Every structure is written in structure tokens, then in C-alpha cells.
Amino acid sequence: MKFHLDRGVLADAVSWATRTLPVRPAMPILQGVRIVADASGELQLSTFDYEVSAQITLAAEVDQPGEVLVQGRMLSDIVRALPNKSVSVALEGTKLQVTCGSARFALATLPVEEYPQLPVMPEVAGTVDAHTLAEAIGQVTVAASKDDTLPLLTGVRMEIEGEKVTLMATDRYRLALRELTWNPASPSAEMTALVRGRTLQEVARSLSTGASVDIALADDSAAHLIGFESSGRRTTSTLVDGDYPPVRRLFPDHTAITAVVATAPLIEAVKRVSLVAERNTPVRLSFTEGQVALEAGAGDDAQASEVLEAQLEGEDLVVGFNSGFLLDGLGALGTDFARLTFTDSIKPSVMSGQDSLEGSPDASYRYLLMPMRI
């Protein structure tokens, strides 16, 4: 096997293919990246750990077709460190020779015949704009649990009903829900899947703006697999097992109090005030007509306060939030103003975005946050 291509192109491809490699794999061979050079001038790099697979296809100048398996992270580190010149890669005996300018590396190979076959993608269920999908994933995964002892809550529930896709995630303290439209392969499509949150984040980071994404999902539980493909990059992942809790019912039907605050100033104020908040203590928000006062700290501890303009409908309210959870929600809105609705100070608050002070809220994204006792 022998091929040549630009160092930057190779570095991007290797970095993308190896991004999901396990740190401590069940078998050493799963640390590898499989490289296949085709006589047609196509280069394919792939990784697989029996849960998540990644495969990227790109053009290269192929002198001799062939395939090889080498340690993925080492290859990625080496290629990133090479000078910005053309790279030649050749298999000589049991070593993979990587040459760029006067730099030369010889990597030990792994037995490629022992490497597992990548799973077959299910049928494409539909396509969606890459930017829209990446934005939705970012908005929802902030609420997915990071605690691997509760694997069910580390997932993002995906619900497909015709042209509407709903993503939702919760860690029991907050809940994020985003609705978007896509182009389904079948107008009557109805499917659900519980997708690993970390996998979705990796997919979002790799999407190219302006491209479309094929989402492959079987309409039966036997496949237990989801796939994403865009611009020559393909990711598959097994789904999370279990029945997701009925979280939609947590959104209140009616709310008595509504406040609208400029998003960017509120984010900066929460960051400043929370500097004195001890661990597991809330930032307090006191809403009155025309303003919101933020406070943290009490008694002999350090204290901070700040006042911002706010539009209030309903009774005055004092509520406490975990500052990190509050900032996650505000940062996910992507709008100039944040709209917060309350039933009272101890029931969940729902946050959504709006483009102007008097505008209508964007109903496509909602972030529910449990208050803390003050």
C-alpha cells in the first residue's frame, strides 16, 4: 500500500476518525484506525469499538492499493506534528512508513484481519440541515446527565413524527427540549430512539455548515442502531437501552408569572454574582416591576448583588437557581432576550428565547429548570 496527500487533509481525516477511540479499550486492537487505499484514488479511514463507529472517505493519490491497521492516537499525534507539506504513506513489511519532507516515522502495524467489521448503516430515515441539527444538539445535550451510573439519562431521546423531530434530555434537575423540521424519507414516519449524548456532541462538532445530514434509523428495535452521514463522514452508534421517563408532562400547562430579560447582560451578571456563591448554594433572582435583582452569599460569607432591567407580568417573585444550570440554559437560547415563566418559587421554571422585548417566544426550544430552596 502506498499513497500521497496533503498533510492538512490527512490530519483532519485522522483526527476525525480517531476522536471516539476509547482510552481504555476492551481489546488493544480497538485502539487502531483501519486505512484502506483503493486503486480508484479513494482513501477510507475507520474506527470501531463495538458501540460507536466512525468512517471518513477522501481523495488521495494512490500508487498501490491495500489496507493496514495502526494505532490511531499515535498516528493522529504524528500527522498533526508534521510540516505543512505533502505526506507519503507506505506499508513496508510490518511497518507503516510516514514521510513528510525530511521527517520520517515507522509505525508498527496491528493484525488487520482481526479487526471487527463496521456495522451496516440502517436505511436513511430522512435528511436535515447540518447547522440546524448541530444547533439543536448543542441546546439539548447541556441537560443530559454526565453520570454514567445512570446510563439512561446520559442519552437524548429522539422522536420522529413525519416532518417533525423532537430532541429532549434531562438529568433530573433540568430538562431541555428542541423541535425542528426535516425531510423524512416517508411522510408518515414515526420512530423513537435513545441516542448517546456524547455521540451526538461528536456528530455536531464534525458537521460542515451548509451541508445536509442523512439520519439512518431502523423502524424496528432489532437493528438498535442509528447512523449519521454528511460530506463523506459517517458515524454509527448503538442506542441506549431502557424506557425514557415521560418528561414532557413536567412542562406546566399554565404559568402565572412571566419575566423577560436581555440575555447577554443576564449571563454576565450571573457569572459575576456567582463568584461568591458557595458550592450547592443558589443565585437568588428577585423579580419586581421593571427589574431583577441578583444576589449570592449570605451572613458572614462573601456577598454580591447586581440589578438589571426586566419586564415582569404577574406577582413579584424570589427564586433561587444553580448558577451553572442557569448559565447552560441561557447560553443555549441563542436569542437577544430570555423569557422565564413561573408557577411559583418552588415549581419548575421554563426558559425560552425571543428576539425582542415585545416579541413572541420561540416555542421550538424550551429549557425547564428546577429551583433550589433559598
First-residue to last-residue Cα distance in the chain: 67
Q: Answer whether 124-248 and 251-369 agree in fold.
A: yes
- What is residue 23's predicted lDDT score, i.e. its pLDDT? 81
Residue type, 159: E
DSSP 218: -
- What is residue 223's predicted lDDT score, i.e. its pLDDT? 61
- What is residue 57's predicted lDDT score, i.e. its pLDDT? 95
Please name which of 31, 33, 29 lies closest in space to residue 13, comparing C-alpha atoms. Answer: 33
Residue with cell 449571563: 267
**CATH 3.30.200.20 is right for the domain spanning 2-114:** no
Residue with cell 422585548: 357
Question: pTM for the complete prediction?
Answer: 0.90
- What is residue 25's predicted lDDT score, i.e. its pLDDT? 82
- Backbone CA torsion sign across 303, 306, 312, 316: positive
Residue with cell 471487527: 116
> For residues 222, 204, 168 and 162, what is the CA-based torsion angle, rounded to 10 degrees?
-60
Give the C-alpha separation, 220 to 140, whole Å: 25
Each residue's pLDDT, cut to its tens digit, for the chain (374 residues) gives 999 999 999 999 999 999 988 888 888 899 999 999 999 999 999 999 999 999 999 999 999 999 999 999 999 999 999 999 999 999 999 999 999 999 999 999 999 999 999 999 999 999 999 999 999 999 999 999 998 888 999 999 999 999 999 999 999 999 999 999 999 999 998 999 999 999 999 999 887 666 899 999 976 655 689 999 998 999 999 999 989 999 999 999 889 999 999 999 999 999 999 999 888 899 999 999 999 999 998 877 889 999 999 999 999 999 999 999 999 999 999 999 999 999 999 999 999 999 988 888 999 999 999 999 88
> Is residue 137 within a helix (H) or strand (E), and if so which, with residue range?
helix 130-141
Tally DSSP H helices, then E strands, for the chain: 6, 27
CATH number of this structure's domain 124-248: 3.10.150.10
Show me where the domains of the chain are located: 2-114, 124-248, 251-369
φ/ψ of 136, rounded to 5, equals -65, -40
The answer for residues whose C-beta is within 8 angstroms of residue 313's C-beta and 6 or more apart is: 257, 258, 259
**Contact between 374 and 298 (Cβ < 8 Å):** no
Residue with cell 442557569: 326
Say whether 225 sits in a helix, a strand or coil: strand
Give the C-alpha separation, 173 to 145, whole Å: 9
Domain range 251-369, its CATH number among 3.30.590.20, 3.40.50.1820, 3.30.2350.10, 3.10.150.10: 3.10.150.10
